[in-house]
C-alpha cells in the first residue's frame, strides 16, 4: 500500500500487531515505494519459484502455463533486445515461469564479473532491475541484501541474532519460503524467557503459528522471568492484552501487575508523555482490567496495588470490600485466580525400600544425568523422606549443564514417615533443551535414614516427553540409574 505522498504505508496487519518501536524497526528494513509492477502480457513472462540450473547457463526450457492453467510445453524463453526475459513464441494469455534467478553466481551478462548484476527475480514482483536493487541496498540494508543474494545465488544460509528478523521480513515479503523457514528455526532454537514476549509479537505479525506456540510455552512456564524481562516493555498493546488475558500464566498476580506498570512507563516514553500515574493509566486503557487484582494475596494488594495510585479510590475501596466483606461488590476485574500450568512428574524407579543401615547422607552428593526429546522446564525434584517416622531435612538442590550451574537452591522440607515423594522447587522453572544431558544433584542433610529407589529405568515415557537417564560422576553417595535418590523430576511441558 502507498500513502498519499507516494511513500510506503505500514500494512494493515503490521499496524495492529506492532507497537511504535516495532513499526520503526520494520520501516528500517522495509523497502520503500516500489515501482509500478509491469503486468505480464503476450510475449512477456512473469517469473516466480525455483528452477534448477547450472552457473552460466541460461533458461532454455521452463514450465509455462496460460491463464487457464494449461501447460504450454515446447515453448522456450530468451532475452529480448532490452535484456528482459520474454517468450520466444508468443501465446495467448499470460505466461508464468517458475524461477528464483536468471543467472547464478559467476560471471554476469556480457562477462560482467558482478553476480549481483544478474537479473534476480523475486516471486510476486517484476524483474529486480538496477532501481529495485538500489532500493534493496539502501532500505533493506547492507545486512539483509548479502544474505538474500547468498541464498538466492548460492543456496547458502548464514543467520545471526542481529539479522534474523530483518531477513525473515524480507523472506516473507519476497516469498522465499525456505529462507523464511530457516529464520523461524533459528528463532525457535534461540527462544528463551528473555526474548519470548518480543518474538511472540513478531510471530503474530509474520503469521508463524508454530513459533507463536513455542513462545507461549516459554511464557506460560517461565512467566515471572518473561514478565520481568526488558523485552516485555517493548511489545505492542495487542500483545500485552493477550498476555494479561492468558489463563495459564505461572506467575503471581502481583508480578503481573508490576510488569504492566513497567510496560506503561515504557509506552509513555514511546508516546512522548511524562510517565505520571495518570498517563500510565491512560496508556494501559482497558488492559488494566485484565489484571486479576482481586486474586492477589490481601497483603500484596494492600502494600502494592492499593498504594500504586493507578487504581481509582472507588476501585481500591471496592477491592478491599471484596477481600473482607461478606456482601461483595461487583468488580470490573476478574476475580478468579489463573489456573497456571499443571506440573508433571517423571518417576524413574519401579519400587522403593528401606533397610536398617540405608539410606544415609552425611553431606554427600546424590546425582543423576538425564536428557529429553523435546523442550521442557524443570521446576523441581521429588525426594524421599524419612523411613523412621516424621523428620525434617535440609536439601541443597542444583541443576547443571555440561558442568555449568543453571539453578541452585537450599530448602527445607518435612517428611511424614511414608514412602511418598516430597516436592522441592527451584525459584523459577529451568528451560531444558532436547538431546542434551543435564545433571540433577541434591545434597541432603538429616539425622534419620530415608527410603531409596530400586529397579531404576534408563528410559521413561512421561506424557509426550521421553526421559533418558545415565549415571553421573558427581554422585558420591551411591545414587545411579538402578537405585538411590532423586526419584522424580517435576516439569512443565
Average pLDDT over residues 409-437: 92
End-to-end CA separation in angstroms for the chain? 42
Counting residues of the chain whose pLDDT is more than 90, the rounded percentage is 51
| Dist. CA 106–CA 153, nearest whole Å | 9
CB atoms within 10 A of CB 12: 9
Report the pLDDT value the prediction gives residue 357, as an integer from 0 to 100.
66
Backbone angles phi, psi at 73, to 5 degrees: -65, 155
DSSP line for 278-289: HHHHHHHGGGGG
346 contacts 488 by C-beta, under 8 angstroms? yes
**Nearest CA among 127, 76, 72, 138 for reference residue 101:** 127
Backbone angles phi, psi at 96, to 5 degrees: -130, 135
Summarize pLDDT for 279-315 with one digit per residue, the tens: 999 999 999 999 999 999 999 999 999 999 999 999 9
Average pLDDT over residues 168-188: 87
Q: Are strands 344-347 and 488-492 parallel, antiparallel or unpaired?
A: antiparallel
**Nearest CA among 174, 194, 204, 196 for reference residue 48:** 174
Question: How many alpha carbons fall within 13 Å on the CB side of residue 130?
Answer: 2
484 contacts 471 by C-beta, under 8 angstroms? no
DSSP 3-state assignment of 262?
A: helix
Report the pLDDT value the prediction gives residue 85, as an integer from 0 to 100.
38
**Nearest CA among 340, 39, 21, 327 for reference residue 202:** 21
DSSP line for 286-302: GGGGGS-GGGS-HHHHH
Long-range CB contacts for residues 125-130, cutoff 8 Å, separation at least 24: 125/34, 125/37, 125/174, 126/35, 126/37, 126/38, 127/47, 127/84, 127/85, 127/102
Counting residues of the chain whose pLDDT is more than 70, the rounded percentage is 70
10 Å CB burial of residue 425 (0-12, 13-18, 19+) is: middle
Report the pLDDT value the prediction gives residue 119, as an integer from 0 to 100.
35
Give 307's DSSP letter.
G
| Dist. CA 170–CA 173, nearest whole Å | 5
Report the pLDDT value the prediction gives residue 6, as an integer from 0 to 100.
52
Most confident of 60-64, 100-104, 302-306: 302-306
Report the pLDDT value the prediction gives residue 144, as an integer from 0 to 100.
60
pTM for this one? 0.68
Find the length of the chain.
493
Report the pLDDT value the prediction gives residue 446, as an integer from 0 to 100.
78
The answer, yes or no, to whether residue 97 has pLDDT greater than 70, is: no
Cell of 451: 527410603
DSSP line for 100-113: SBSS-SS--GGG-S
More reliable by pLDDT, 329 or 72: 329
298 contacts 325 by C-beta, under 8 angstroms? no
CA–CA distances in Å: residue 124 to residues 37, 62, 146, 189, 276? 9, 18, 21, 30, 48
Summarize pLDDT for 424-441 with one digit per residue, the tens: 999 999 999 999 999 999
CA–CA distances in Å: residue 302 to residues 251, 325, 333? 19, 15, 16
More reliable by pLDDT, 314 or 172: 314
| Dist. CA 355–CA 359, nearest whole Å | 7
Cell of 154: 548460492
Report the pLDDT value the prediction gives residue 129, as an integer from 0 to 100.
40
The answer, yes or no, to whether residue 114 has pLDDT greater than 50, is: no
Summarize pLDDT for 125-152 with one digit per residue, the tens: 333 344 434 443 444 444 566 777 777 7
Report the pLDDT value the prediction gives residue 358, as an integer from 0 to 100.
73
pLDDT band at 244 (very low <50, low <70, confident <90, very high): very high
Q: Average pLDDT over the chain, rounded to whole? A: 76
Average pLDDT over residues 70-84: 40
Mention every residue, 6+ apart, whose C-beta is less than 8 A from residue 84: 44, 119, 127
Lowest mean per-residue pLDDT among 118-122, 218-222, 300-304, 359-363: 118-122
More reliable by pLDDT, 391 or 8: 391
Average pLDDT over residues 437-461: 90
Report the pLDDT value the prediction gives residue 153, as an integer from 0 to 100.
76
CA–CA distances in Å: residue 468 to residues 113, 161, 481, 484? 54, 31, 10, 16
Report the pLDDT value the prediction gives residue 391, as an integer from 0 to 100.
85
391 contacts 457 by C-beta, under 8 angstroms? no
CA 312 to chain centre: 36
Lowest mean per-residue pLDDT among 73-82, 382-391, 392-401, 466-475: 73-82
Lowest mean per-residue pLDDT among 118-132, 139-153, 242-256, 396-410: 118-132
Lowest mean per-residue pLDDT among 111-125, 167-181, 299-313, 345-359: 111-125
Summarize pLDDT for 328-341 with one digit per residue, the tens: 999 999 999 999 99
The answer, yes or no, to whether residue 103 has pLDDT greater than 50, is: no
pLDDT band at 386 (very low <50, low <70, confident <90, very high): confident
Cell of 470: 545415565
Residue carrying C-alpha cell 513459533: 211
**Nearest CA among 475, 447, 470, 450 for reference residue 460:** 470
Taking each helix axis from N to C terminus, what angle separates 253-270 and 237-244, rounded to the nearest 10 degrees? 170
Report the pLDDT value the prediction gives residue 361, as an integer from 0 to 100.
80
Mention every residue, 6+ apart, whose C-beta is less than 8 A from residue 12: 1
Summarize pLDDT for 187-239 with one digit per residue, the tens: 988 899 999 999 999 898 888 899 999 999 999 999 999 999 999 999 999 99
Domains and CATH numbers, the chain: 191-341 (no CATH), 344-492 (2.60.120.820)
pLDDT band at 158 (very low <50, low <70, confident <90, very high): confident
CA 208 to chain centre: 11
| Rg for the chain, CA atoms, rounded | 30
| Dist. CA 346–CA 342, nearest whole Å | 13
CA–CA distances in Å: residue 31 to residues 10, 28, 55, 86, 124? 11, 8, 29, 27, 14
DSSP line for 226-254: HHTSGGGGGS-HHHHHHHHT-TT--S-HH
Amino acid at each position: 500500500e502507498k500513502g498519499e505522498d507516494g511513500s510506503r504505508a505500514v500494512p494493515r496487519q503490521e499496524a495492529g500487531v506492532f507497537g511504535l518501536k516495532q513499526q520503526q524497526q520494520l520501516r528500517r528494513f522495509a523497502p520503500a515505494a516500489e515501482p509500478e509492477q509491469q503486468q505480464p502480457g503476450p510475449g512477456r513472462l512473469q517469473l516466480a519459484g525455483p528452477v534448477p540450473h547450472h552457473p552460466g547457463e541460461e533458461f532454455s526450457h521452463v514450465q509455462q502455463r496460460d491463464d487457464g492453467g494449461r501447460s504450454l510445453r515446447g515453448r522456450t524463453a530468451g532475452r529480448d533486445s532490452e535484456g528482459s526475459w520474454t517468450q520466444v513464441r508468443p501465446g495467448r494469455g499470460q505466461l508464468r515461469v517458475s524461477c528464483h534467478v536468471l543467472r547464478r553466481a559467476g560471471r554476469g551478462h556480457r562477462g560482467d564479473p558482478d553476480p549481483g548484476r544478474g537479473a534476480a527475480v523475486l516471486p510476486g514482483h517484476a524483474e529486480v532491475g538496477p532501481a529495485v536493487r538500489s532500493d534493496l541496498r539502501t532500505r533493506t540494508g547492507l545486512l539483509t541484501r548479502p544474505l538474500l543474494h547468498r541464498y538466492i545465488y548460492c543456496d547458502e544460509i548464514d543467520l545471526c541474532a542481529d539479522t534474523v528478523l530483518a531477513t525473515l521480513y524480507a523472506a516473507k515479503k519476497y516469498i522465499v519460503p525456505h529462507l523464511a523457514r530457516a529464520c523461524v528455526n533459528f528463532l525457535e532454537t534461540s527462544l528463551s524467557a528473555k526474548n519470548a514476549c518480543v518474538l511472540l509479537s513478531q510471530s503474530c505479525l509474520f503469521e508463524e503459528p508454530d513459533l507463536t506456540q513455542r513462545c507461549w510455552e516459554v511464557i506460560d512456564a517461565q512467566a515471572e522471568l518473561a514478565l520481568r524481562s526488558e523485552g516485555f516493555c517493548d511489545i505492542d498493546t495487542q500483545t500485552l492484552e493477550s498476555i494479561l488475558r492468558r489463563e495459564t500464566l505461572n506467575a503471581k498476580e502481583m508480578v503481573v501487575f508490576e510488569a504492566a506498570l513497567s510496560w506503561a512507563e515504557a509506552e509513555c516514553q514511546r508516546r512522548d508523555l511524562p510517565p505520571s500515574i495518570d498517563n500510565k493509566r491512560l496508556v494501559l486503557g482497558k488492559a488494566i482490567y485484565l489484571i486479576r487484582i482481586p486474586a492477589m494475596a490481601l497483603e500484596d494488594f494492600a502494600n502494592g496495588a492499593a498504594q500504586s495510585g493507578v487504581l481509582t479510590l472507588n476501585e481500591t475501596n471496592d477491592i478491599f470490600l471484596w477481600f473482607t466483606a461478606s456482601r461483595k461488590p461487583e468488580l470490573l476485574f476478574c476475580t478468579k485466580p489463573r489456573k497456571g500450568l499443571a506440573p508433571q512428574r517423571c518417576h524413574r524407579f519401579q519400587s522403593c525400600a528401606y533397610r536398617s543401615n540405608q539410606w544415609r547422607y552425611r553431606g554427600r552428593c546424590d546425582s543423576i544425568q538425564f536428557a529429553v526429546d523435546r523442550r521442557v522446564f524443570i521446576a523441581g525434584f521429588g525426594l524421599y523422606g524419612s523411613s523412621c517416622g516424621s523428620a525434617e531435612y535440609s536439601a541443597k538442590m542444583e541443576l547443571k549443564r555440561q558442568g555449568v550451574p543453571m539453578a541452585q537452591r537450599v530448602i527445607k522440607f518435612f517428611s511424614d514417615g511414608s514412602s511418598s515423594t516430597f516436592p522441592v522447587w527451584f525459584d523459577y522453572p529451568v528451560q531444558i533443551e532436547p538431546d542434551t544431558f543435564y545433571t540433577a544433584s541434591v545434597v541432603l542433610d538429616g539425622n534419620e535414614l530415608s527410603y531409596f529407589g530400586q529397579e531404576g529405568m534408563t528410559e521413561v515415557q512421561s506424557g509426550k516427553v521421553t526421559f533418558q537417564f545415565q549415571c553421573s560422576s558427581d554422585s558420591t553417595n551411591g545414587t545411579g540409574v538402578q537405585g538411590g535418590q532423586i526419584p522424580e523430576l517435576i516439569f512443565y511441558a
